[in-house]
Amino acid sequence: MELGDVQRVAVLGAGNMGHGIAEVVALAGYDVRMRDIEEDIVRKGYEEIAWSLEKLAEKGLIDQDPEEVLSRIDTAVDLGETVSDADLVIEVAPERMDLKREVFAELDDLAPEHAVLASNTSSLSITEIAGATDRPEQVVGMHFFNPPVKMDLVEVIYGDETADETAELAYAFVEAIDKTPIYVRKDVNGFVVNSVLGPFGDEAAWMVSEGEATIEEADAAMVHRKGYPMGPFELSDLTGIDIGYHVRKEAGKPIPPVVQEKVDAGDLGRKTGRGYYDYGEGDGPTYE
Ligand code: 3HC
């Protein structure tokens, strides 16, 4: 399959990353079907896209009518309906290997034979995910960053059996949606970006857990002294504290107590209204 053959894209997940990816793909002119396991989640994701498109249009950051972009996005709950005519499927399920493998096994039965199956996993092995299918050569990693509409980079990851043709198609597709792809040729845990970013978050979480710094101090140090756009805790609130939690669990790493406490309390970051900071009316990080 070549880039020109990609007409319909299915995005499996309507949470932060799923709806952001669906938005970016629709902005590039593709027809997208966005799916999640519950009607409410899909509706919320669709509303977030509508909000984001309005915001981008208001600021003159896009020159398309938001309604027209939205008209290219269909929603669904049924997996078969979502992928039956897809040329490219981008899976954005929670960061657990058992779930990913379950989804890919189903995809193998339900998606057209020619379809490329991509995973937006943050760190899990593409080889192991692909092993749940009978077409591992058509499985590839396509890792976006949060928020997809603003972040330019996308990692295109080879599993051990990914065909060059598949990785090249994924790479060309990323360029076609106006993002910048990089190849990750070794299927290492965390790929390139999260391998580097992991210790940044981990070190800060252990320092806070051991009383060596406060959340605000750690974030302020990186923002004001190091010029990062966000400190590690604010970033974790943006990406979802549960994501980092599952990434550590799947990699067999110990969980810093400050992370465990937030997960136990269900305070997972912006998406739940509270994480390391509160995101009520007018709130947000207070360290500035
Ligand atoms: N769509 C449209 N507008 C949006 C938006 C969206 N999805 N999200 C936020 N905005 C709006 C805000 O509402 C705000 O609007 P306002 O100005 O009207 O109040 C505005 O964008 C925010 O703009 P700012 O000028 O404050 O911020 P910037 O646009 O300059 O930067 C940022 C925002 C790009 C998020 C920047 O803070 C940043 O780069 N942060 C780091 C992000 C990062 O590193 N992401 C990667 C995380 S790792 C990851 O995703 C890997 C995964 O595997 C876990």
Tens-digit pLDDT profile for the chain (288 aa)? 899 999 999 999 999 999 999 999 999 999 999 999 999 999 999 999 999 999 999 999 999 999 999 999 999 999 999 999 999 999 999 999 999 999 999 999 999 999 999 999 999 999 999 999 999 999 999 999 999 999 999 999 999 999 999 999 999 999 999 999 999 999 998 899 999 999 999 999 999 999 999 999 999 999 988 889 999 999 999 999 999 999 999 889 999 999 999 999 999 999 999 999 999 865 566 666
Q: Whose CA is nearest to atom 34 of ligand 1?
A: 150
Whether 146 contacts 238, CB under 8 Å = yes
The rounded Å distance from CA 59 to ligand 1 centre is: 14
Residue in the structure block whose two tokens are 């295109």: 156
> What's the farthest any 2 CA atoms get from each other in the chain?
55
In this structure, the chain runs to a length of 288
Q: What CATH code would you report for 195-272?
A: 1.10.1040.10
CATH 1.10.1040.10 segments of the chain: 195-272
CA 148 / ligand 1 centre spacing (Å): 9
Model ipTM over 0.90: yes
Regarding the beta carbon of 162 and ligand 1, being less than 6 Å apart is answered no
* CA-17 nearest atom, ligand 1: 50
Closest CA to 19 of 31, 36, 39: 36
Closest residue (by CA) to atom 30 of ligand 1? 229
CA–CA dist 112, 88 (Å, integer): 9
R_g of the chain, CA atoms, integer Å: 19
DSSP string, 237-286: HHH-HHHHHHHHHHTTPPPPHHHHHHHHHT--BGGGTBSSSB-STT-S--
Give the residue, by CA position, lying nearest to ligand 1 atom 8: 147
CATH annotation of 3-184: 3.40.50.720
245 lines ligand 1 (CB under 6 A): no
Give the catalytic positions in this structure.
122, 143, 155, 194
How many of the other CB atoms lie within 10 Å of CB of 183?
A: 14
CATH 3.40.50.720 positions along the chain are: 3-184
- The Cα 142–Cα 182 span in angstroms is 10
Ligand 1 pocket test, candidate residues 17, 49, 55, most atoms within 8 A of CB? 55
Please give the distance, rounded to the nearest whole angstrom, from the Cα atom of residue 230 to the centre of ligand 1: 10
pTM of the model: 0.94
Q: Cα of 150 to ligand 1 centre, how many Å?
A: 6
